[in-house]
Structure 1
Amino acid sequence: MRSVFVFPTGEQAQTVACLDQHLPQQRSPWTLNGDLYIDIDEEATGYLFSDWDPEDVAILEAVVGHRPGWAVQIDVSGRIDGTAEVHQLSALLLEHGGVAIDDYSAHPWTLDEIHSGAVIEGLRFFDLRTYYELHRH
């Protein structure tokens, strides 16, 4: 599985309500087409940041302005590419601001960067294909 962590602005309850509205009748986790598994991870009670490089957490803190206490974790099944689905869900969750971090770079992606296809250190947001091309041996 590949993962994306989305750090929306606003309160956690607002994000939960948004997910409930768009992915009704499910929770813990929410799913999208049985290929994306979406849940809230909290640092205090869950595993958020437990396996992150401290430098990556510091980059996130600098961009956000504080250490986020929670995130939406999106796990993507290996059965699908997932790019379109991750972009769709990230756009929904970042509509009012925030950033997302994928498995391929430590860059905190804004919605504008995701929409524009910005390239940071040779990669776009959730850029599986380019990542593997760059890291093939």
Structure 2
Amino acid sequence: MRSVFVLPAGGRAETVTALDQHLPQQRDPWSLSGNLFIDIDDEHTGHLFSDWPPDEIAVLEAAIGHHPRWAVQIDISGRIDGTTEIHQLVVLLLEHGGVALDDYPAHPWTLPEIESGTVIGGLRPSSSFGP
């Protein structure tokens, strides 16, 4: 199983509303086709950042301008590729700004960077984010 973290620019309630609208009648976690499991992880009540190196957290803070307290965590079953589904969710969640990271968060990627395949420091957005 691999994970993608999305830190939308909007508020937590706004993000929950968007997920509820696109994945109705489920929550804690939301699921897409039984292969993607979407939940909001919180730094204080969950495990967000518990195993992240401090330098990666610092890069994330610099990218978004503050220390985030929550993120959407999307876990992808090893049974599927999941690229198309992840791309759909990233587009939905980053529609108004924010960043996404995969299991190896070398760079917090914005939606325009993901969609254009921008190269930063020799790195491209992960194939986890889709086209």
TM-score (structure 1 length as normaliser):
0.88
Q: CA deviation at 1:125?
A: 2.5
Instruction: Structure 1: state its 5+ residue gaps.
Output: 129-137
2:88 maps to which residue? Answer: 88
Over aligned residue pairs, what C-alpha RMSD do you find?
1.3
Measure the CA separation in 2 of the matches of 1:126 and 1:82.
13
Identity %: 70
1:28 aligns with 2:28: yes
Show CA shifts across 1:33-84 (max 9, x none): 1111000000011100001011100000011111000000000111111111
* Counterpart in the other structure of 1:57: 57
CA contact (8 A) 1:101 1:108 kept: yes
Deviation sequence 1:69-103 (CA, Å, 0-9, x none): 00000001111111111111001000000000111
Secondary structure at 1:47's aligned position in 2? coil
Runs of at least 4 residues off by over 4 Å:
none
| Contact kept? 1:83, 1:126, Cα under 8 Å | no
C-alpha spacing 1:82/1:53, structure 2 compared with 1 (3 Å): same
Cα distance in 2 between the residues matched to 1:2 and 1:122: 23
User: Which residue number corresponds to residue 70 of structure 1?
Assistant: 70
Aligned residues: 128
Q: Which moved more, 1:42-51 or 1:77-86?
A: 77-86
1:7 aligns with 2:4: no
Tell me what 2:19 maps to: 19
Secondary structure of the 2:68 match is coil
**Aligned residue number for residue 133 of structure 1:** none
Could you tell me which residue of structure 2 aligns to residue 45 of structure 1?
45
1:106 match = 106
TM-score normalized by the length of structure 2: 0.92
